[in-house]
Amino acid sequence: MHTRRHILATGLVTSLLAACSTMPSSADRPPIVFVHGNGDSAALWQTTIWRFETNGWPRDRLIALDQPMPLARDNDNVPQAGRSSPAESMAFLQGEVDRVLKATGASKVILIGNSRGGNTIRNYVQNGGGASKVSQVVLGGNPAHGIWAIPGFNEQSEFSSLSTFILRLNAPKGPNGDEVTPGVKWLTLRSDNNDKFAQPDGVWIGAPGKPTNVPYDGPALKGATNQVLQRVDHRETSFSPAAFAATWQFLTGAPPKSMDIAPESALTLDGRVTGFGLSSTDPASGQFTNNLPLVGAQVAVYATDPITGVRRGDAVHRKTVGTDGRWGPFASQPGTAYEFEVIAPGYATTHIYRSPFPRSSSVVNLRPDRILPADRDAQAIVILTRPRGYFDAQRDTMRFDGQTVLPGVPPRGAGVSSSKIKLDNGAQRAIKGEFNGERVTGLTWPAAQGHMTLLELTY
C-alpha cells in the first residue's frame, strides 16, 4: 500500500463508446459497472479502472457512474432536498445497467460498489430486477448491517441496522437463509478493524464511547465469499491495490498479471465539473456534494514544474463547461504535472494540482470549492486531499508543507481524507503534499482575491 501504483480510468455511460482506447473490445469480458459511495463520484474508481485496463479488461467495458444526488437522506422516510432515497438510487442504477447492456450487447454485467453503493447494488439485485442481469457482485466496505444499531438513534436512516430498508435487505433468502440474492456470485471486502464505518465504538458517528452494536465484520454477508484486507481503511476496501487483487481473483479465478500500471504514450484526459448544493436554511454551512454539471464553469489547464508548481507557459487547454458537464477532451503529455484552474460563480477560483497521469482517463472530475466563513481571515488556503482513501497517522508516511503531523488528522484511526492549512502570509510560494511516495506541488494563491489551492493525490 505504501508503494506508488500507476493506474487508469474510464468514463460514464454517456461516454461509454467515446473513450479513446488502445485495447480492442472483447466479448469474453462482460461489462463492469462501478457504483460509488455516499457523497462520492465516479472519479474515485480511476485507479481501479487503470488496473483493470492494464490487465487486459477492455476500456469500453469499464463504466463508472456518477449518481446525480449521491448523499443519502438523513431519514429514509422523509424527502430531503439534494439527497436521494434507496429507491431513487436503485432506479438510477436500473437505468444505467439497461443502457450498458444495450450499448455493449452483453447479456449480463458485473457490479462493483463501494460503501453506500453496495446497498444500492443489493437493493437492485434483490428488488429491482437485477438478479437476471447481473452475474457477479463485489462490495467494498458495504455497511451491509448498518453503521449503528442504537435504539432511538436515527433508526430510519438507511445506515441504521434497525431501519426498515436494512431489515428487508438482510431478510433470509433461498434454502440456506442467505442474506444475498441467490443466483448471483457475491464477494465482500472489508477491513480487519480500520474501517471507520464498521467500528464498535461510535467515535465516527459523533458518539465517542457509545457502542454502535455493529462489529468489525459488519460488511460480511451470509451466502457471500467474505474476505478481510489487513489495515485498509473504508475507501481502500474498494480502491486499494489489495482490493483490486482480490476482486480480479474473484472475477477471473486467477491473480492479476500485474499490479503496476502500464503507462501509455498518448494520453487523453476528460471528466466532469460538478459543484456543491446549498442548504436553503443555512447556505453558509449547509453545502452538500452533488454530481450535477456545473454549467458555465471555466476550466484552464496549465503544465507545471513538478518541483516548484510554477506554470510552464500559457494554458494548454481551455473550455467553458456545457450541459454535459465535461471539461475535455484534452491531449496531455506523459510525465507532465498539471494545474486545473476552475472558475465558477459562487465559488473560489480553485487551483487543483495533480501529479503526472500515467494513462488516459475520462473521469478526471473537477469540483471547485468555497471559502468557508471560518477561513475568511486566511491570506491563503491550501487543502491536501486523498479521494481514494484516508490518512492514517500510524500507518502512512505523510508530509504537508513540511509538517509530518497533518492538521485535522487524528493520531489514531483512518477517517479523514483531507487536511487544510491556513496561511497568514499572502506571498505566493510553492507548497507540497506527500503521501506514501506520491508528491504533489502547487502554488499558494491569495484568499482575499477569492482563490484557494487544492493538492489532490491520485494514489
Q: What is the CATH number of the domain that holds 420?
A: 2.60.40.2190
Q: Residue 162: how many CB atoms within 10 A of its CB?
A: 18
Confirm whether 394 is domain-assigned. yes
For residues 302 and 359, state if they share a domain: yes
Q: Are residues 336 and 373 in the same domain?
A: yes
The answer to whether the beta carbons of residues 60 and 378 sit under 8 Å apart is: no
Q: What is the per-residue pLDDT for 286?
A: 59
| Rounded Cα distance, 455 and 406, in Å | 14
Of the chain, the percentage scoring pLDDT greater than 70 comes to 92
Comparing C-alpha atoms, which of 147, 152, 136, 143 is closest to residue 120? 143
Check: CB of residue 321 under 8 Å from CB of residue 273.
yes
Same domain flag for 62 and 194: yes
Domain end, chosen from 218, 252, 286, is at 252
Range of the domain at 316: 268-456
Tell me the average pLDDT across 107-113.
98
CB 179 within 8 A of CB 223: yes
Helices within 232-360 (DSSP H only)? 236-239, 241-252
pLDDT reading at 326 higher than 70: yes
Supply the pTM of this predicted model. 0.93
Q: Examine the fold and report which residue of 227, 252, 277 is the final residue of a domain before the chain moves on.
A: 252
Q: Among residues 205, 226, 252, which one ends one of the domains?
A: 252
**Number of domain units in the chain:** 2
Asked whether the beta carbons of 271 and 363 are under 8 A apart, the reply is yes
> Quick check: 11 pLDDT over 80?
no
SS3 call for 249:
helix
Q: What is the pLDDT of residues 425-441, one digit of tens each?
A: 999 999 999 999 999 99
Stretch (H or E) spanning 340: strand 337-343
- 383 inside domain: yes
* pLDDT at res. 27: 60
Grid coordinates in use for 7? 493506474
* Cis peptide leading into residue 329 (ω within 30°): yes
Q: pLDDT per residue over 210-262, tens digit each?
A: 999 999 999 999 999 999 999 999 999 999 999 999 999 999 999 999 999 99
Please indicate, yes or no, whether residues 342 and 232 belong to a single structural domain of this protein.
Answer: no
Task: Kindly report the CATH number assigned to the domain that includes residue 103.
Answer: 3.40.50.1820
**Residue 12: which pLDDT band, with cuts at 50, 70 and 90?**
very low
Strands (DSSP E) contained in 294-365 are: 298-304, 317-320, 330-332, 337-343, 349-354
